[in-house]
A = this chain, B = another copy of it.
Amino acid sequence: MSADEQPPYDVYNRNCPARMVFTRLADKWSLLIIRRLKTDAVRFNQLRRDLDGVSAKMLTQTLRNLERDGLIQRQIFATVPVTVEYSLTGLGQTLADTIDELALWAENHIETVLESQQQFDQEQG
């Protein structure tokens, strides 16, 4: 493709930074976990209770992914039984700020969204 033919948004290819990050966050629990860890460190089972509906398997899997990306950190305390605490890294905190704005948007506009859904569903019959 020549220079003057490339689309205005070639950033949308698979190697685009935004796309890579969006892909990581685009699962059922990542955004919720980051948001939950924003205020304080939380233990595994506490996190599990706080996030309504998450299974141990998915929680572990999602936490590992976030740890791999350097967004959260895992601290092990040699108690009996063992204690494991998850918390945001410095990097994770900067992302949490942005995600919080997304949550704020949600709270401010959820009513409008819900109404739109109802209207859409009626029109379709």
Contacts and interface: CB of A to CB of B under 8 A. Distances in A.
A59 interface: no
A69 B51 CA distance: 24
B105 A12 contact: no
Copies of this protein in the complex: 2
Interface string A67-111: 111110000000000000000000100110011011101110110
Interface string A102-125: 110111011011011100110000
A71 to B, nearest CB: 8
Interface in A20-44: 20-23, 25-28, 30-32, 35-36, 39
A91 B116 CA distance: 11
A18 interface: yes
23 contacts: A9-B36, A9-B50, A14-B53, A17-B103, A17-B106, A17-B110, A19-B32, A20-B106, A20-B110, A21-B106, A22-B31, A22-B102, A22-B103, A26-B26, A26-B27, A26-B30, A26-B31, A68-B116, A68-B121, A69-B117, A70-B120, A95-B105, A98-B105
